[in-house]
Structure 1
Amino acid sequence: MTTTDEIQRRVEKADADRSARRSAAAQQVGVLAQRRAAIAEQLGDIERELGDVLAAASDVIDIDELARFTDVPAADLTRWRAAHKTARTKRKRHAAATEVGTSREPAAAKTSAADQGSTLPDPTVSGATTADAPARTTVGVT
Structure 2
Amino acid sequence: MLTTEEIQRRVKEADADRGAKRSATAARVGDLAKRRAAVAEQLADIDRELGDVIAESSDVIEIDELARFTDVPAADLNQWLNSRKATRPRRKRATAGTSTAKSDAPHDVATTETPSTGRLPTSTAHASSAADALQASARVPAEVA
**TM-score, normalised to structure 2's length?**
0.68
Which residue of 2 is the match for residue 95 of structure 1? 91
Partners of 2:103 and 2:12 in 1: CA distance: 77
C-alpha distance after superposition, 1:99-142 (max 9, x if no partner)? x1xx3416xx42259989xxxxxxxxxxxxxxxxxxxxx67xxx
Query: Which 4+ runs in 1 deviate beyond 3 A?
Result: 112-116
Please point out which of 94, 100, 114 is paired with 1:110: 100
Separation in 2 of the partners of 1:113 and 1:60? 41
Higher helix share: 1
Query: Which amino acid is 1:111 matched to?
Result: A
The 1:40/1:112 distance shift into structure 2, 3 A limit, reads same
Deviations 1:43-96 (A, max 9, x none): 0000000000000001100111111111111110010001111123xx1xx323
User: Deviation at 1:19?
Assistant: 0.0
Q: Which amino acid aligns with 1:26?
A: A
The two structures have a TM-score, normalised by structure 1, of 0.69
Determine what percentage of the aligned residue pairs are the same residue. 57
Q: How far, CA to CA, are the matches of 1:75 and 1:29 in structure 2?
A: 34
Match of 2:19 in 1: 19
- How far apart in 2 are the matches of 1:79 and 1:7? 62
C-alpha RMSD of matched pairs (Å) = 2.3
Number of the residue aligned with 2:38:
38
Superposed, which structure 2 residues align to 1:1-142 within 5 Å? Answer: 1-88=1-88, 91=89, 94-97=90-93, 100=94, 103-105=95-97, 109-112=99-102
Distance 1:114 1:58 in 2: 39
